[in-house]
Amino acid sequence: MDDTKTRRRRTHSEQLKAEVVAACAEPGASVAAVALARGLNTNLVHKWRRQAAPAADTTVSPGTAGSMSAAHDVGFVAVPLATGSPLPAAEPEIRIEIRRGATSVAVHWPLSAAGECAAWLGAWLR
């Protein structure tokens, strides 16, 4: 006797998909709220939105930035880099995150003061 259940995927009409995608595009709309209101999984709605959006080419070559459509203007902005002196190297630091019960502490301590960090940490952990 076979007790396995066969799962059937729900199928949704193209009209429903279009309505859901349009509802998500409304100003202030939440994808999660739209999905919940229609009894759909949020990940499925995100998938429909990706499928409905035209494939965006994120590459930018010199001379094409002015001819890009408005949809592409949102994604990538070329920023010229200064050719002057390089930025100073950041001083190495000690990074510690401690959780004790409901208390969480993140510490960033300069490496040059490692002894003081160790003393503080020892006193805090007592």
**pTM given for the model:** 0.40
Find the Cα–Cα–Cα–Cα dihedral 76, 82, 85, 90, rounded to 10°: -30
Mean pLDDT (the chain) is 77
pLDDT per position as a tens digit, 15-55: 999 999 999 888 888 888 999 889 999 999 999 999 888 75
Q: Is the pLDDT of residue 70 over 50?
A: no
Q: Is the pLDDT of residue 71 over 50?
A: no
Distances from the Cα of 116 to the Cαs of 91, 94, 98, in angstroms? 16, 11, 17
